[in-house]
Amino acid sequence: MIRVDATGFVPIFEEIKKEILRVRVDPTSFVPIYEQIKKEILRLVMTGRLKVRDPLPSIRDLAAELIVNPNTVARAYRELEQDGLVSAQKGRGSFIARRPEPGTDKDVKAHLSRVMDGAIGEARKFELRDGAIQGLFEERLKTGPDRKKGRTP
């Protein structure tokens, strides 16, 4: 929804910034929505679109935009705060507290561990054993979306 300010003009900068900072979730995914929100915020920080001290959308605004329960967004923000990535300031909102180092920060490892735990949980629902899960993981490492066919690290 495009807003018009008191002068009758569309605040273009705000609309452009909203587009750049778009958080995307897939309601059909097996990954919980709050985890997807966390992943998207981490992605925006890691790619430099969100910087330290940048504000996050309010819980209500993001929930309305994503058409999810505000408690879902609140959980994502709370977990990001527990990880030290986000700082919540009473009455002012939530802000990016720091930028994790790529691949070495505990936030990245914690996030990836939760994603992997979710995948393992899904595999267990299909009664897959450890060897089969490990085989799937190794296959995805070789053929995943960031790999060209036949390319190995």
Are 88 and 127 part of one and the same domain? no
Which of 59, 82, 99 delimits the end of a domain?
Answer: 99
Please compute the mean of the pLDDT values over residues 103-126 and round it to a whole number.
Answer: 79
Are 107 and 82 part of one and the same domain? no
- CATH classification of the domain holding 26: 1.10.10.10
Are 94 and 104 part of one and the same domain? no
CB 131 within 8 A of CB 123: no
Structural domain span for residue 123? 100-153
- Of 64-78, 92-106, 120-134, which range is least confident? 92-106
The pLDDT of residue 21: 67
Q: How many domains does the structure of the chain reveal?
A: 2
pLDDT per position as a tens digit, 33-91? 999 999 899 888 887 889 999 999 999 999 999 999 999 999 999 999 998 899 998 88
Higher confidence at residue 104 or residue 85?
A: 85
